Every structure is written in C-alpha cells, then in structure tokens.
Amino acid sequence: MMHAKSAVFSIDEHKDRFARARAALKAAKLDACLMVAPENVYYVGGYETWVGVNSPQFLIFTAKEDAPTLILRNVDLALARETTWVGDIRTYHLHTDSVPDLVTKVLKEKGLIRGRLGIEFQSYALPHGMALTLKEALPGFDFADATDLFGDLRLVKSAAEIDMLRAAGKFAQIGLTAAKRTLKAGISEIELAAEIEGAMRRAGSDYWAIPTELASGWRSAGGHAAPRPKAIEPGDLVHVEFAGVSNRYHATALQTLGVGTPSKRATDLYDVALLSLKAGLAATKVGARVDAIEEASLEPLRKEGLEHAAMMRFGYGLGIAYPPIWLETLQISRGFDRVLEPGMVFVLHSCLELPDEELGVVQGGTYLLKEDGLEMLAGAGDIDLIRV
C-alpha cells in the first residue's frame, strides 16, 4: 500500500476497511465486486473525487487475496494519485475506449470469467445504460445488489471519522450563526442562503452534496425547497437545512426561525414539532430499534391530529457524501428493524408540512450516538422558537 500526498486517513485504517469489505463479499457469497458509488470508493479505496457522476469509475476486487484495481478516466489519474492507496490504476479515454471491455479484462486477470458480482444498483453512479452494457459484456456473471452491503460498512464511525464529523459540525454551526445574524424582513431567500454558504466556505468547509434548502412564509410547507428570489416578510417562518463538510464528511444543520411575530397557528405548529422531536430524541439510544424511535416521535402528533403532517422519516444515517445526496443506508423509520449501535451518526428531525395552509416546520440536527447518549454535532435541536 502507498500513502498518497493528500490522503485523509492512515494506511492502517484503510487496511481495516478493505478487510471488512472483502469479508462482506465472502459473507454474501459474492466472487468479486464492481464498486461504483463514490462514497464507497472513497471509504475503501481512499479515492476522493466527485467525477463518478459523469465518468464511470470502478474499484474492483475479489473475495480472494488479490490487490484491488481502480478503473477511472485518464483525465482523472492525477486526482486519484493525490488520495488513493490503491497501486493498480487502469485508465480509459472517454468515448473512445470501451469501459465494459476494460472491466472484463481486469476480471479475467483476477481469474474470473463467471460468478457472482456485487454492484450498487441504487447508486446514481451506475446509469441504466452502463448497467446494460456491463451485463452484455459479462454474460458469465450474475449481478447482485450490493448497495446495502457496502453502505452498511460505513455506518459505525471510527475515531478518525468522528473527528471529521465534529469539524463538519463546526462549519455547519458557523452557517447557522450567519443565518440568525443575517435574517430580517426584506432580504431575499437567496441573499440569506448566500450568507450561510459564504460563511461556511470562508471558515474552510468543503462543498456539500445537496443544495441549501431554505423556504419562508407561504413557501415553508416545501420541506426540500431551494431558496428563491422571494422576499422574506414580517411574520414568516423561515426554515433552513444545509451541511458543513470536512473531507466529504457531512454534518447537517436544521432550524426554523420566526421573523418578528409569526401567527399563533405557526407557533403552535412549531411547538407540536418540538414535542415530536423531543419524544424521538428520548427514544434514541444504544440498542433501540429504528422503527420504535419513529413511533415515539409520532405520539405527540397523534394527540394533536397532526400525524398526517409528518411526511418525512424521523432520521437517516450521515457521513461521506457526494452530490446529489447525503443519506446513508441507515433509515430511522417505520418499515426497518435495524438496532442502533455506538458510533453511528445520523440526522434526527421533526418535519411537519401543511401544504393547504402554506405552513411548515423543520427542526433537528446531526447527532453522534455514544454509549452514554447523544452528542449533537450540528443543528438547533430541541429548543424553543427563536424570533429575530
């Protein structure tokens, strides 16, 4: 293994990750993997780049003791050498070289002409067209979805990863401070977003995987709204959701703020959202089932007849991310039976939307689960409504 100039983690940490990835292959009875998701390639191979969104890249290794092979576009070779520990790097020229043929060649070199291959079917880095051409080029192989297999490797964070997430959280808190300092009636949503983003970037934040989400007043029922030229008005509720980022590790900040004096209906909705958030937080502990946590968060809403307004999952895992998403495979939601473990990091939030009333609230933050409870890394958390 080589140590690249811009490598973020130690060789020993990467050895451990690679060994766990190979063990996961064996446990799933897979002969090899074609790892395509940038967050997984970075986690296992150390290769840090966003370009998998438009140029196919693969980290290939088998369940045996072979060294991994990294396939990427030739123009990105210098980027790979900055960060990856992988020594065997193969390149192709976009539009003139056949990527499936190169994948086939590498697998043959590793002694495979048939078998079961794991690949992340649910990754945006595997376009449908590429999947079809791979299937055609590799007729002797069966393909299995390895999205959860590899994504689950990243759920419990190491000490070094937690350091990255705490740094990301500091960037996010700088953004929240800028939001509260800047927010006032008369400015536009875009102006507010610019202050948030500029403050984080000046502090040293890496770029984020999802655009800043920000909505005010009659737009507040849009839980994932992008900021618009709309002017913020007296009495508006304004909610923001964005991430600070350190070496691709994300910590998401969420908060709803009031401008002046919001309506009683708006403040009442916020208070119910706060009760929901507190109930979910109280249920979040080591050994808790994720579905039970969401059920706890819904109890205060049922009492107020507002369960229908909770359209989002209560939480989701967070860590390494590239555009266009920052969610990990952990879902804190009904329909899942996973049990929480120490070292997991996740967003927990109350998100209530009343589209017919043009009113919405989003409140919460990013949390690290420890043996003795939750540590909030970013966000406003379970506090009373702040009016500016």
Question: How far apart are alpha carbons 149 and 88 in whole angstroms?
Answer: 24
Closest by CA to 272, choosing from 357, 376, 382, is 382
| Residue 280 identity | G
CATH number for the region 159-387 comes to 3.90.230.10
Closest by CA to 342, choosing from 382, 292, 284, is 284
**In terms of DSSP bridges, do strands 345-354 and 315-322 run parallel, antiparallel, or are they unpaired?**
antiparallel
What's the pLDDT band for 1 if we cut at 50, 70, 90? low
Residue 321 pLDDT > 80: yes
Spatial contact of 230 and 260, defined as CB atoms under 8 Å apart: no
What string of DSSP letters covers 179-243? HHHH--TTSBHHHHHHHHHHHHHHHTPPPPSSPPEEEEGGGTT-TTPPP-SPBP-TT-EEEEEEE
Q: Residue 124 corresponds to which tokens in the numbers above?
A: 């945006």
Residue 269 pLDDT > 80: yes
What does each C-alpha distance from 297 to 79, 228, 239, 283, 345 come to in angstroms? 44, 31, 20, 8, 18
For domain 11-153, give the CATH superfamily. Creatinase/prolidase N-terminal domain (3.40.350.10)
Task: List, in order, residues 6 or more apart from 126 with CB less than 8 Å away.
Answer: 36, 37, 119, 120
**In terms of DSSP bridges, do strands 32-35 and 115-119 run parallel, antiparallel, or are they unpaired?**
parallel
Spatial contact of 277 and 374, defined as CB atoms under 8 Å apart: no
Q: Residue 264 corresponds to which tokens in the numbers above?
A: 């009683």
Question: How far apart are alpha carbons 120 and 71 in whole angstroms?
Answer: 16
* pLDDT at residue 54 in the model: 85
Closest by CA to 336, choosing from 364, 310, 314, 318, is 314
* pLDDT at residue 148 in the model: 97
Domain boundaries, the chain: 11-153, 159-387
User: φ, ψ for residue 37 (rounded to 5)?
Assistant: -65, 125
Residue 2 pLDDT > 70: no
Per DSSP (E only), the strands in the chain are 32-35, 58-62, 69-73, 88-92, 115-119, 141-145, 213-216, 237-246, 249-258, 315-322, 325-332, 345-354, 359-370, 373-379, 386-387
**Mind listing the pLDDT tens digit for each residue in 39-85?**
999 999 999 988 888 899 999 999 998 899 999 999 999 999 999 99
Q: How far is CA 137 from the centre of its chain?
A: 32
Burial readout 319-352 (b: 16 or more C-beta within 10 A, e: otherwise): bbbbeeebbbbbbbbeeeebebeebbbbbbbbbb
Question: How far apart are alpha carbons 78 and 160 in whole angstroms?
Answer: 25
Note the pTM of the prediction, 2 decimals.
Answer: 0.96
**Mind listing the pLDDT tens digit for each residue in 157-188?**
999 999 999 999 999 999 999 999 999 999 99
Residue 3 pLDDT > 90: no
Residue 309 pLDDT > 90: yes
**Mind listing the pLDDT tens digit for each residue in 10-29?**
999 999 999 999 999 999 99
Question: How far apart are alpha carbons 154 and 151 in whole angstroms?
Answer: 6
Count CA atoms within 13 Å of residue 348 on its CB side: 28
Report the phi/psi class of residue 186: left, alpha or beta, with left for phi > 0 and alpha for psi in -120 to 50. left
| Residue 27 identity | A
Q: How far is CA 319 from the centre of its chain?
A: 6
